[in-house]
Structure 1
Amino acid sequence: MSSKVDNNDPNLDGRSAERKEELNKQIKEQKVAVDELSNLKKDRKVYVQQRNSNILFLADRGQTLSSCKKKLDILTKELQDI
């Protein structure tokens, strides 16, 4: 059984545009996070918020920066694929 995508679906363009807008927003957020983490002094503490929670945990600045860069790369590739 093969799945078929209907390219004539008028809602497809709207969903694609909404997804692009959301990706652009997330990319901007990640760029700000990367810039902020890159410009922090080495002795500054970094906290990461737990998903779906208001709890913050102390995190390693280098690991957090690396994680943000990876997420930025993933979002950028996803936007290019659309």
Structure 2
Amino acid sequence: MSVISLKAAPGAQAESHSYKQRTPVLELHLGGTQVLVTTSARDHITADDVEFARSLAREAVSFVLTVERMFRGVHGTQANKAA
């Protein structure tokens, strides 16, 4: 098993691209690294692809909720220290 750690720096972006002639691509720009997430085949979608996309969406929502909650906590703490 391999682990790759990519850190979101200022300017990091995530973009979803849809195409008429191929399956969609999720593109992540993280500093000098670009990651493309695609389906198992270029020309059709499988049930496993759908399940992976749903899992990715669920985990992304969980990630953003945690990041926002922590940001509000840190932001609130910093504001309290400045006051």
**TM-score tier after normalising by the smaller chain length:** 0.3 to 0.5
Which has a greater percent of strand? 2
Q: TM-score if structure 2 supplies the norm length? A: 0.43
Q: TM-score if structure 1 supplies the norm length? A: 0.43
Q: Pick 1 or 2: higher relative contact order, CA cutoff 8 A, min separation 6.
A: 1
Which has a greater percent of helix? 1
